[in-house]
Amino acid sequence: MSGRTTVVIQGVESPGEVPGIEALETNAEFRCVGDLNALRRALPGAEVLLGWNFAAADVIHAFDRADRLRWIQWGGAGVDAALFPALVESEVTLTNVRGVFDQAMAEYTLGMILAFAKDFRGTDTLQRERKWLHRPTEPVAGTKALVVGVGSIGRAIARTLRAVGIEVEGVGRTARDGDAEFGRVRGNEDLNRELGSADWVVLVTPLTGQTRGLFDAARFAAMKSTARFFNLGRGALVDEPALIEALETGVIAGAGLDVFSEEPLPAGSPLWGMENVVVSPHMSGDFRGHEEAMASIFLDNFRRYRAGEPLVNVVDKRLGFVPG
């Protein structure tokens, strides 16, 4: 490819905010945009869109301006906000940053499990009151986790939980045997049965037409009353009012939530005030250094794009994720 490629970078004020991007300067012309109006002005004529700090919902409202767009590099693992018909049906290639967040999310999940098992919140509360109150802790080794979503994030979580002696089962879109990480992967049709024996339920499946609202009142009812539920995937995977009711009425014992049906979580949500719920602001995957890891995927893909080679992390837009 000769000539410079026009790249719109969403969510930065200057290209220098993307680590290492100066290496592309001879081959690329950058247009940095900060909001929807700027995105709409910048898209005409651009071949590449790099979603860096993602106002993901903006893309649907600017896509009609994408007259020459050939490739979107999505700045996240979950591409649900890109799965609108005009983009799905277009020739535009969609890539994500699969893999970048895996280890951080696995560590975050294990941390939340240990925090519940060892009652770190109780310890914090007692410390603020300067109260010395011994409590026995829950052992973690020998407990059972169910990971819903068997992509690269779910696999990293499974590996990490197993490393400390937690038994892990995986639930995916379709049941299958002989999976390298999970052995037997259960299908969604077995989900309720699997929920009945899990101490920890970890939701990391992509948000698609098949998974929207996957966890409803019936799912929570199928769980053990001592179980804790973790959502690190997407808020819309869960019927949030049903979750709140399950937590308030003791149907399940607790939850660690990093994603919500509306983000930022509105100040009026009862979730903020619940003793058995940890609310964190969609940060489980974002470790110090994740920008470099995200950039390196884009830089590699940009070189491939210019050389006419196949890109990595190409999303199957009908499935809604990068096939394993």
CA–CA distance, 249 with 189 (Å, rounded to integer): 26
Residue matched to tokens 């607790």:
254
- Min separation Cβ 166 and a copy of itself, Å: 10
Taking CA atoms, 230 is separated from 58, 163, 224, 270, in Å, by 28, 19, 14, 17
Q: Which is nearer to a copy of itself, 66 or 232 (CB)?
A: 232
Instruction: Count the Cβ atoms, other than its own, within 10 Å of residue 300.
Output: 14
- Min separation Cβ 26 and a copy of itself, Å: 31
CA–CA distance, 135 with 250 (Å, rounded to integer): 21
- Min separation Cβ 235 and a copy of itself, Å: 13
Q: Which is nearer to a copy of itself, 112 or 195 (CB)?
A: 112
- Min separation Cβ 220 and a copy of itself, Å: 21
Q: Taking Cα atoms as reference points, which of 124, 164, 120 lies closest to residue 145? A: 164
Residue-level length of the chain: 324
Q: Which long-range contacts (CB under 8 A, 24 or more apart) does 129-132 make?
A: none
- Min separation Cβ 120 and a copy of itself, Å: 6
With both helix axes pointing from N to C terminus, report the angle between 152-163 and 102-117 in degrees, rounded to the nearest 10.
Answer: 40
Q: Which is nearer to a copy of itself, 103 or 188 (CB)?
A: 103
- Min separation Cβ 260 and a copy of itself, Å: 9
Catalytic annotation, pick one of 89, 263, 292, 309: 263
Contact residues for 289 (Cβ-Cβ < 8 A; gap 6+): none
Q: How far apart, in Å, do the first and last CA atoms of the chain sit?
A: 30
Whether 130 sits among the annotated catalytic residues: the reply is: no
CA–CA distance, 174 with 195 (Å, rounded to integer): 16
Point out which residues bind a copy of itself (CB under 8 A). 103-104, 107-108, 110-112, 114-115, 117-118, 120-121, 123-124, 126-127, 130, 132-141, 160, 163-165, 263-265, 267, 272-273, 278-284, 286-290
Catalytic annotation, pick one of 61, 282, 290, 304: 282
Whether 282 sits among the annotated catalytic residues: the reply is: yes
Whether 234 sits among the annotated catalytic residues: the reply is: yes
**Two tokens at 144?**
């059972």
CA–CA distance, 281 with 114 (Å, rounded to integer): 19
Alpha-helical segments (H) within 164-249: 191-195, 217-222, 240-248
Catalytic residue positions?
234, 263, 282
